[in-house]
Amino acid sequence: MTETTSRTGLRELAAAAGLSIGSAAHHDLLASDPDYARVLAHEFDSITPYTAMKWGVLHPEPDRYDFSGGDAIVEFATANQMRIRGHTLVWGGATDPPNPAYIAGVTSEAELREAVESHIATVVGRWAGRIDRWDVVNEPLTVLGDPGRSDGLRENVFLDRLGAGHIADALRLAHEVDPGARLFVNDFFVLASGPKQERYFRLVHDLLDVGAPLHGVGFQGHLCFLPAAPPGAIDLPSEDAIATTLGRFAELGLDVEITELNVHTWRFDGDRGARLAKQREIYRRALRAATSVPRCRAVTVWLFTDRHPTSMERFVGRSGEPLLFDADYRPKPAYFGVREALLLAAQRTGAGGLGSL
């Protein structure tokens, strides 16, 4: 661990570039794995709970909350001067973990509305003033943004029982509980141009038109996510495409963030060295795009060490080595691609003396 912690961390380079750099994290590893905690605190200035604040973990039964994981995240962040990105309040397509059965079983609008109001009031209220931003509604759109029967909104119990207005309602509820928190919607496959990005843009525009307290837009950034290449570049947009997308949404007067960045290697050609070199370049380009957009306030990687597989890797049963550190917490080429992009951005601000490549 000496090599990792002796370098200037990514968080210092990002700060010099005017950016926040964060990672999702497993709450249970903060106390059980000292190396995990050490690298997380040294390299990142922001933390997103991987599962601890999702409905299925936090509120597993109608009258029972389990705040232990969320509290562990908040306490760790506070002790290490890290901001917290709350994730997530309403997620109709939750799979990791799924929403509890009692939510899917709700049959009346009034009952579900009461459940959502109570959940948001309780969760946001517990950490009001300590969590500075929330993914209020996660993945509200269909996978590819196709209209389907629901005008491009993902069919789930919240849409079915509460209608399309449940997104704006959730934002209003969260804002009422903690007016100081920055509130986001968040989705995947929206960094590339195409039908899904267009539907996302329309959703954001509609929320602003009805006066919903929306402060930012999250772009998940799972790159080369699918084991088989999809049509077009939906999961591998170019650097220019990412910058154009972020800039387009920022022009609405909103903050933009890449919220769940990782780069799987399973579609790359060549030996492991070649695959990791390709991964480094994609990370570098994504960070360069982000730092080129002034209203892009933060980039969050979706976990940071290959020691702990991502949900997609568990689903397909193979490793995609998508993260910045290997299974022994050694920085991979991808780490240095991120570092290079941050150092270049810091140099543009006149703070380029930090760190060395």
- Catalytic residue, from 12, 43, 139, 257: name it: 139
- Which residues fall within 8 angstroms of residue 352, CB to CB, at 6 or more apart? 16, 343, 346
The yes-or-no answer on residue 12 being catalytic is: no
- With 0-12 / 13-18 / 19 or more C-beta atoms within 10 angstroms meaning exposed / middle / buried, residue 273 is exposed
51 neighbors 81 (Cβ within 8 angstroms): no
Q: Which among 299, 294, 301, 291 has a CA at the least distance from the CA of 346?
A: 291
- Catalytic residue, from 43, 239, 257, 260: name it: 260
Structure tokens at 240: 């220019």
Structure tokens at 282: 């994609």
Percent helix, strand, coil in the chain, to 5, is 40, 15, 40
The yes-or-no answer on residue 109 being catalytic is: no
d(CA 41, CA 29): 13
d(CA 262, CA 221): 7
Amino acid at the residue 50 = Y
Residue 317's region, left for phi above 0, alpha for psi from -120 to 50, else beta, is left
Residue 163's region, left for phi above 0, alpha for psi from -120 to 50, else beta, is left
E runs forming strands in the chain: 20-25, 46-49, 83-90, 133-138, 182-187, 216-219, 222-223, 255-263, 296-301
Torsion of CA 149, 152, 153, 155, to 10 degrees: 40
d(CA 16, CA 351): 6
Active site residues: 139, 260
